[in-house]
Every structure is written in structure tokens, then in C-alpha cells.
Chain A
Amino acid sequence: MQFFWHIVAMICMSIPNILGFNLIFGKGKIFHFGPIGVSTVATYGVFVPLMHGFSYPSAIAIGFVLTMIISLLFAWLALRLEPDAFGVMAIAIHLSLLAVVINWISLTRGTRGLPDIPRFFFLQTTQSFALFTFIIALLWILFLFVLHRGSFGRSLDALAEQLWYAGSLGIDRRWVTVIAFLIGGLGALITNVIYCQYVFLVHPSDLNFPVFIFFVMVVVAGKPGSVPGVLCSLILLTLLREGMRFLPIPSEFIGSLRLLLFGLILFVAVWVRRDTLFPKARSV
């Protein structure tokens, strides 16, 4: 039963971050390859101040401001760079941020991470985590579902299909892009504030490149831009990831096997969706 609550908590706490990423990358078709860069800032932005004596509300407020700033930076770059250049730049920013947190040992303790992360008073058991994250996930799904189906979602769809056509109707690309990135940033903040409490630890290995591959895999396999599809994909792939622990193979091989399997799933998902994954270039 404990494992069931653990799975529920893991899935539900990932939902804000994954659906935020799906809004930008899946629905907006913006080559945002830096969601884990945003997560890095969100995580360290909250827990470094917390470990240096700030209260939870103050630390979360600091983390919120820093997350919005990095989200605005990504939005600004997405508006100014060509899509592929932005993709490369986003990866570069993520890796640079990771290098900073690994090497700024006096502040972040580097690869040793920040241990003994205190939990909210109402999150002392796996069961309470599962219940709390379930409520948060439900609210977030509802929020994003309304957003996807409403005028904001249609504007994002229009911009994803053809920028000039959308612009000629009066759709403000800057406004829509900035809002999408800020929502993505908020999702990253919610997920990471909960996750680090759950594992009592902030560690750079939770913010490295394979985590981004998992994000892309979930969105691509679930159908980019689809909230129900991405949710199903997240549930199945989390079950697969967590279920692999029970395979009768030595534990040191499980990590490598998981990466191989995820790589294969991503390859197949991209292959299947190769015609619809990204917008086709259309002349005016």
C-alpha cells in the first residue's frame, strides 16, 4: 500500500511541471529545451534561502521571484531567436545553471546537495503527500484544461501554426509567449517545492539532462498539447520507471536499462509523430 501512495505522490507532484512544459513545448510548439533549467532556479531559489535561515514563506517568495525572472529570460530569448537557435540556447542555459549549482559549493554544497529539507507540518507521511499532491494536481489540471480550451489556448494554437497569420489577426505574440513561460515556471516551482520535501533532499542529479529527456518523452508520447494524453503518458511512464525496481536484475544496471528503454520509447514516439510534432513551414 505504501508503494501505491508513493506512486500517486510521484505522479501527482510531477503534473504541474510536466503540464506547464506541455503548454509551452507541446501546445505552443516552442523549442523550450530548458524546463529543467527553470526547475534548477526554482529548487535552489527556495531551498538555499531556507537552509540559510529564512522561513518557508520567505524562501518560497524568493524562489517565486527568481523563477519568474528565469522564465521571463527564456520567454525573451524565445521571442528573439530562431526556434532552433532558442532550443540550443535553452540547453546551454540549463547546463550553465547546473554548472553554477555544482561548483558554487559554499552556497549549494555542490554535488553533496542540500540534505535534511524540512517538510510542511501537514506533509509528514507518504499518504499525506499523496493526498496533498492529488489536490494540487487536480487544481492544476483544471486550470490548464480551462486555459487550453479558452481564448489563450486558441491564441497559442494560432501562433504555433503560423506566426504571421496570427499576428495579422491582432494576436500579441509577446504577451502570449510570456504568459506561457510564466505558467511553466510556476508549475516548475510547485513541483520542486513538494518533491524536495518528499525526498528530504535537493540534489543536482534530479536536475540533469536525463530528466529533461523524460519530460520530452512524456509530452511526445502523450500527444503534444493534449492534457489528457500527457497525463496518461505520465502515469504509464512513471509506473514503468518505478516498476523497474522490481525487475530481477542487479540494482546497478537498472539506471542504465531505464535510460536505454526511455531512449527507445522517445525514438519510437518521435518517429510515430514525425509529421505532426512540429509545425510545417508555410509560406504566406
Chain B
Amino acid sequence: MSLLSVSHLSLTIQDHSILHGVSLSVDEGEIVGLIGPNGSGKTTLFNVLSGFLKPTSGSVHYRGQDITNVSPSKRAKLGIGRVFQNFGIFREMTLEENVLVALEALPKQDRKNLGNLKDVVHGTLDMVGLLSHAKKKAGSLSGGQMRLLEIARTLKSGKTFFLLDEPTAGVSPKMTEQVADLIRQLKIEGKTVVIIEHDLPFISRICDRVIVMDVGRVVLTGKPQEVKKSKELQELYFGAELV
């Protein structure tokens, strides 16, 4: 059975149709790339999967459970983590507080299993080389550091399924590699990841499968190398087949 299964998902906002019957599935332990031109509905699909937008029709199943109408906070408690395009960290809080607030939101038993939260916080910051900034406000970090903090926080807060929205956007090439390493680490730990990205070489390097979206529809799916060579993708991104 798929970990995540999306069937005939449609979304219309103020007479504007954004998603048209999107169907896809993601297996446990898979790393899936979600690509497509701007305005193709990738982030909107993530917003529906995270529970921030309610679909007009269709359904979302997670571990066999219908979560179409489940609130974002309950989805998070089920293990669905989200990394946002514009750095989903709390800039007015310190780095410590940013991690702590995520750990405190865990169900009581999971929180107990973690042991001393302070140690987990410091371990999380150490993992991404930010321990020395623990008491600083998160707003003072660079884009790459914010991204690392966000991914590490999501990882340590017990999530098993990750929705990463452009994790390398605004990140230096060196830090992009660190982000890639973190995502590979997720795979090693058996986590499942769906990544929205425009960086096709990055997607090719780390994904098992790629889904291509255009104008609110899934138009192509396959292994990265197959998708990369397809005419449809080249037409979508470059307007014509590359010679």
C-alpha cells in the first residue's frame, strides 16, 4: 500500500481552477521530485497535502487513512512535515526556541520518548553546525542556515513524511550540498520525501522518481533520467525540444 495516495484532487478558488483531478501516490522510503513551471500548482498541491487548503473534490489518504478534512496540526501529529519555500522558521525566536517549539508540539508520549528536550535541541543544532548560534534570533541567520535549521527541526520533530518546497532556493552552492546530504540522510533513515525543485540536476541526483505538473495537472511521471530526456519536459521548461 502507498504511504500517500492522492485521488482526483481538484481545487477551485474564487472561480479560478488551480488543480484539476490530480492523482498520484508515494511509497514509503521513496524520494520523489515534483517539478513543473511556475504556476503549475506544485505549492498549491503541497498546501492541500498539508491541510492548509481544502480541496473542492477528491481525496488524500495517508497510511490508508482518509485525511482530506484533517487539520494541519493533526496531520503534523500523524508525521507529515513541511518545509516552506520562504523559510518556515520563526524569525523573532532564538534558534533554541525554534527547535523547542516543534518538539513541544509533539504528542505527549513522543515527547517523553525523546528524553531531555534541551539535549535534543542542542543535538539538532549541532547536527547542522548551528549550536554556537543557539541563543541568537533566527532572523539573523543566512538563507542557507535558515534552511538547514528548518529541515533539521522537521527531521528531529519525529516526522516521517516530508514535503520540501524548494529546499535549495536562496541557498549557496556549498549549502545546497549540505541540504542534499540532509535529504540523503532522510532516505537512509527510511523517511519519505516529496521535493518541489527547479534545480533539475539536484532532483536527478537525489530523487528515485519525478512527477511533472503543468497547469494543475500531472503530465508526466517516471525515473529522473527518463523524465529528463522527455520532449514534454523540455517543451514545458524551454518552450521547445532541445537540440
Contacts and interface: CB of A to CB of B under 8 A. Distances in A.
B86 A167 contact: no
B92 A157 contact: yes
Interface in B22-70: 43, 47, 50-52
B89 A165 contact: yes
A283 B88 CA distance: 10
A171 interface: yes
Interface in A146-185: 151, 154-155, 157-158, 161-162, 164-173
B130 to A, nearest CB: 18
B100 interface: yes
Given A168-B72, A168-B81, A170-B76, A155 B104 contact: yes
B73 interface: yes
A282 interface: yes
A168 B85 contact: no
A167 B90 contact: no
Residue among B81, B105, B157 having the largest count of chain A Cβ atoms under 10 Å: B105
A282 B93 CA distance: 16
A157 B51 CA distance: 21
A239 to B, nearest CB: 31
Contacts of B101: 151, 154-155, 157-158, 166, 169, 171
Contact of A158 (B74, B76, B84, B90): B90
Contacts, number: 80
B93 A284 contact: no
Contacts of A170: 73-74, 76-77, 102, 105-106, 157
Contacts of B85: 284
- Report the contact-size class of chain B (Cβ under 8 Å from the partner): 20 to 34
Given A154-B97, A155-B105, A168 B88 contact: yes
Contact of B47 (A162, A282, A284): A284
A171 B86 contact: no
Nearest to A276: B92
B84 A161 contact: no
Contacts of A171: 73, 101, 105
Contact of A168 (B43, B84, B104, B106): B84
B118 to A, nearest CB: 13
Contacts of A162: 88, 90
Contacts of A169: 73, 76, 101-102, 105, 157
- The interface centre, meaning the residue of A157, A158, A169 with most chain B CB atoms within 10 A of its CB, is A169
Contact of A164 (B72, B92, B93): B72
A170 B91 CA distance: 18
B38 to A, nearest CB: 14
A173 B104 CA distance: 14
Interface string B88-114: 111111000100111011100000000
A165 B84 contact: yes
B82 interface: yes
Contact of B73 (A151, A167, A282): A167
B49 to A, nearest CB: 11
B128 to A, nearest CB: 17
B71 interface: yes
A225 to B, nearest CB: 10
B54 to A, nearest CB: 14
B93 A154 contact: yes
B170 to A, nearest CB: 13
B67 to A, nearest CB: 14
B73 A172 contact: yes
Contacts of A165: 84, 88-90
Contacts of A282: 86
Nearest to A171: B105
Contacts of A166: 101
Interface of A: 151, 154-155, 157-158, 161-162, 164-173, 282-284
20 contacts: A154-B104, A155-B101, A161-B90, A162-B88, A162-B90, A166-B101, A167-B52, A167-B71, A168-B76, A169-B73, A169-B76, A170-B73, A170-B106, A170-B157, A171-B105, A282-B86, A284-B43, A284-B52, A284-B84, A284-B165
Q: Which 8 A-B pairs have the closest CB atoms?
A: A170-B76, A167-B72, A170-B105, A151-B104, A168-B82, A165-B88, A154-B101, A169-B102
